[in-house]
C-alpha cells in the first residue's frame, strides 16, 4: 500500500521537477513578467529589499521630513543631559527589548546619536536616489542618442568616457564637491550624478549599437515611425535590463562615494549631516566613544550591501542564460526519488 503511494508520489515529483517548472516559465508570460518572477525568487535580493525598506522607513519617519515632525523624541541638533557616563548607549544585549532613551548613545555634548544617524541615513539615501535618477536620465538619453545616431555625438561620448578612464571618480568628485561648496544633499547628488552617468551611457550605447541593426527597427522605420518613437518605444524596452541593473550598481557606488567625500570634507559639511560626515566628525573619538563611529559605518555598509544584492538579483533576473539552480538539498532529494523509482 505504502509502496504504491511512494511510487505515485515520486512520479508526480518527477513531473513537477522536469516539465512543470519549464512549462510554468513559458506559459504565455510576458518577458517583464518572467523577469519579475525570477527576481522574486532571488532570496538575497528579497531580503535586501526588506532590510532597505525598514531602514528607509525608520530614517524618514523617526525624524520626519522637512516641516513634518517625526516620532522620535530628540532631534539631530538638540543637545540634552548625558544619561550614561560618557554618553554610552542605553541599549545593550541585556535589555534588548527596552532600548531606553539613547539607544545608539550620545556624543560629547549630549546630542542623541540615534537621531543623528537617522538624519544622516535620510540625507545619504536622498543623495543616492538623486544620483541614481540623474544617471538614469542622462545616461539613457545620451547613450541612446550616441548608439542610434553614431556620428559626432558618439565620438564626443567616447572621449568623455576616456576622460574618466584616466582620472579616479573621487578626484573629480571632490573638485565638484568643493565647487558646490559643502551645500545641501540634493546639490551634491546632482553634482555627483553629473559625473557618474558616463559608465551607464557607454553601456546603453553598446546595446543600442547592436539593436539598431535588428529587423524590428527596420520594420518600424518602414512603417513610418519617427526616430524618437523608434528609440524610446521600440529599442528602449529591449535595453531595459542593462539600464536597470547598472543604475542600481551606480547607486551602490554612489552611497560609498558620498560617504567618502563627506569624510574627506568635500561632500556634506557640518552643520549639514550625512553618514560619511558623521564618521568624519567622530573618527577621533573612536577610542573613547566607539558607538559614534560604529553606527554610521554600519548603516553605510547595510545600505550599500542591500543595493548591491538587489543589483545582483536584477542582473540574474534579466540574464536569459541564467537558470534557477535548485539548492543542494533539493537536488539530493530529487536524486533519491529517482533512485527509488529506478529500483522498482
Partner 1 sequence: MIRFILRRLLSTALVLLVVTFVLYLLLNVALDFFWDLRASTSPNIAALYESRTRLLDLDTPAVVRYFKWLAGVGGCVVGQCDLGIAWKSGQEVTDQLQGAIVNTIKLITASTIVAIILGIAVGMISAIRQYSGFDYFITFVSFLLYSLPVFWVAVLLKQYGAIEINNFINDPTLSSWVPIILVCLAMGLFWMGALGGGAKRRLITFSAASIITFATIYYILASGWLQQPSIGIVGIIVIGAGAAVVMTFLSTGLKNKRVLYATLSIAVIGALLYMPLQYLFYYVEMNWLWMFGLLIVAIGVAVAVGLAFRGPDPWDTVRTTSFTAIIIAFLIFADRVLQGWTEYSNDPAINNRPIATIGASAPNMDGDFWLTNLDSFTHLLLPSIALILISFASYTRYTRGSMLEVMGQDYIRTARAKGLNERTVIMRHALRNALLPLASIIPVDIITMIGGAVITETIFGWNGMGKLFIDSMRQSELDPIMAYILITGLLAIIANLVADFLYAVLDPRIRVNA
Interacting residues toward partner 1 by CB under 8 A: 159, 162-163, 165-172, 174-176, 178-179, 181, 252, 256, 259-260, 263-266, 276, 279, 283, 286-287, 293, 297, 300-301, 304-305, 308-309, 312, 325, 328
Q: Is 277 exposed, middle or buried (0-12, 13-18, 19+ CB in 10 A)?
A: buried
Number of H helices, E strands in the chain: 14, 0
Closest distance of CB 309 from partner 1, Å? 6
CB atoms within 10 A of CB 8: 10
Closest distance of CB 310 from partner 1, Å? 11
Nearer to partner 1, 13 or 178 (CB): 178
* Cα 188 to Cα 336: distance, rounded to the nearest angstrom: 58
Closest distance of CB 304 from partner 1, Å? 3
* Cα 271 to Cα 77: distance, rounded to the nearest angstrom: 9
Nearer to partner 1, 231 or 250 (CB): 250
Nearer to partner 1, 12 or 162 (CB): 162
* Cα 153 to Cα 141: distance, rounded to the nearest angstrom: 11
Task: Please enumerate in sequence order all residues whose Cβ is within 8 A of that of 146, keeping only pairs 6 or more positions apart, or say none.
Answer: 153, 154, 156, 157, 158, 201, 205, 208
Closest distance of CB 102 from partner 1, Å? 22
Closest distance of CB 146 from partner 1, Å? 17
Inter-residue long-range contacts of 80-85, CB under 8 Å, 24+ positions, other chains counted: 80/106, 80/110, 80/111, 80/112, 81/110, 82/106, 82/110
* Cα 286 to Cα 296: distance, rounded to the nearest angstrom: 12
Q: Which of 259, 164, 228, 231 is nearest to 202 (CA)?
A: 164
Closest distance of CB 144 from partner 1, Å? 23
Closest distance of CB 227 from partner 1, Å? 29
Nearer to partner 1, 233 or 323 (CB): 323
Q: Which residues pair with 111 in a beta bridge?
A: 79
Nearer to partner 1, 141 or 302 (CB): 302
Cell numbers representing residue 98 in the block: 527596552
Nearer to partner 1, 135 or 257 (CB): 257
Nearer to partner 1, 133 or 264 (CB): 264
Amino acid at each position: 500500500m505504502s509502496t504504491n503511494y511512494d511510487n505515485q508520489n515520486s512520479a508526480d515529483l518527477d513531473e513537477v521537477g522536469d516539465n512543470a517548472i519549464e512549462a510554468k516559465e513559458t506559459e504565455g508570460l510576458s518577458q517583464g513578467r518572467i523577469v519579475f518572477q525570477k527576481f522574486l525568487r532571488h532570496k538575497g535580493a528579497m531580503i535586501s529589499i526588506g532590510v532597505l525598506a525598514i531602514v528607509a522607513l525608520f530614517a524618514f519617519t523617526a525624524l520626519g521630513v522637512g516641516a513634518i515632525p517625526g516620532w522620535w523624541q530628540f532631534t539631530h541638533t538638540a543637545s540634552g543631559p548625558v544619561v550614561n557616563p560618557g554618553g554610552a548607549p542605553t541599549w545593550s544585549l541585556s535589555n534588548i527589548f527596552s532600548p531606553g532613551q539613547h539607544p545608539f548613545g550620545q556624543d560629547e555634548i549630549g546630542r542623541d546619536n540615534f537621531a543623528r544617524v537617522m538624519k544622516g541615513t535620510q540625507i545619504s539615501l536622498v543623495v543616492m536616489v538623486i544620483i541614481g535618477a540623474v544617471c538614469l536620465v542622462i545616461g539613457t538619453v545620451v547613450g541612446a542618442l550616441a548608439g542610434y545616431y553614431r556620428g559626432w555625438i558618439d565620438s564626443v561620448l567616447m572621449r568623455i568616457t576616456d576622460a574618466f578612464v584616466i582620472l579616479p571618480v573621487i578626484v573629480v568628485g571632490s573638485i565638484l564637491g568643493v565647487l558646490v561648496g559643502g551645500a545641501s544633499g540634493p546639490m551634491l547628488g546632482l553634482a555627483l550624478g553629473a559625473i557618474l552617468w558616463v559608465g551607464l551611457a557607454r553601456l546603453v550605447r553598446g546595446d543600442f549599437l547592436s539593436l539598431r541593426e535588428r529587423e524590428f527597427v527596420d520594420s518600424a522605420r518602414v512603417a513610418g515611425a519617427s526616430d524618437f518613437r523608434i528609440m524610446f518605444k521600440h529599442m528602449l524596452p529591449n535595453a531595459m535590463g542593462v539600464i536597470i541593473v547598472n543604475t542600481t550598481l551606480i547607486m551602490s557606488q554612489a552611497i560609498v562615494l558620498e560617504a567618502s567625500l563627506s569624510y574627506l570634507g568635500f561632500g556634506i559639511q557640518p552643520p549639514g549631516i550625512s553618514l560619511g560626515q558623521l564618521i568624519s566628525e567622530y573618527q577621533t573619538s573612536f577610542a573613547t566613544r566607539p558607538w559614534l563611529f560604529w553606527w554610521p559605518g554600519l548603516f553605510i555598509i547595510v545600505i550599500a550591501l542591500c543595493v548591491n544584492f538587489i543589483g545582483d538579483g536584477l542582473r540574474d533576473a534579466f540574464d536569459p542564460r541564467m537558470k534557477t539552480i535548485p539548492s543542494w538539498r533539493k537536488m539530493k532529494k530529487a536524486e533519491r526519488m529517482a533512485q527509488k523509482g529506478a529500483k522498482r
